[in-house]
Amino acid sequence: MMSRLSRKNRDDINIKSSGGLLDLIDNGLKEIWRINDAELDYLCEVSSDEELKLLIDDGMSISGVKKVLTYIDEKLDEFYKKES
């Protein structure tokens, strides 16, 4: 399983230096959860609206953060299993 800790210091996360509001949101999500564009696109495709709201909740508790990290890790595992 690819955890957030194992995703530290990645060089495949492209933070866009210019763009609109959506680029700013994408950049924030990629930095916070340490995911790249392909992983973010996959999460957006397979997640419900409620699940996506969890990714951007700025007032979540520690247990909420753990829940989101587990969700992201599981989805990224699915993503990489599909890729290989």
DSSP 5-46: TTTTT-S-----SS--HHHHHHHHHHHHHT--HHHHHHHHHH
pLDDT band (50, 70, 90) for residue 75: very high
Total number of domains constituting the chain: 1
Tell me: the pLDDT tens digits for 1-28? 677 777 888 888 888 887 788 889 899 9
79 occurs within a structural domain? yes
pLDDT of residue 58: 79
55 occurs within a structural domain? yes
Tell me: the pLDDT tens digits for 26-64? 999 999 899 999 999 999 999 999 999 888 887 889 998
71 occurs within a structural domain? yes
Residue 71 belongs to what domain range? 21-83
pTM: 0.83
51 occurs within a structural domain? yes
User: Which residue in 21, 75, 79, 73 sits closest to 48, CA to CA?
Assistant: 75
CB atoms closer than 10 angstroms to residue 79: 19
CA–CA dist 1, 41 (Å, integer): 19
pLDDT of residue 42: 97
35 occurs within a structural domain? yes
14 occurs within a structural domain? no
65 occurs within a structural domain? yes
CA distances from 25 to 19, 20, 71, 82 (A): 10, 9, 19, 26
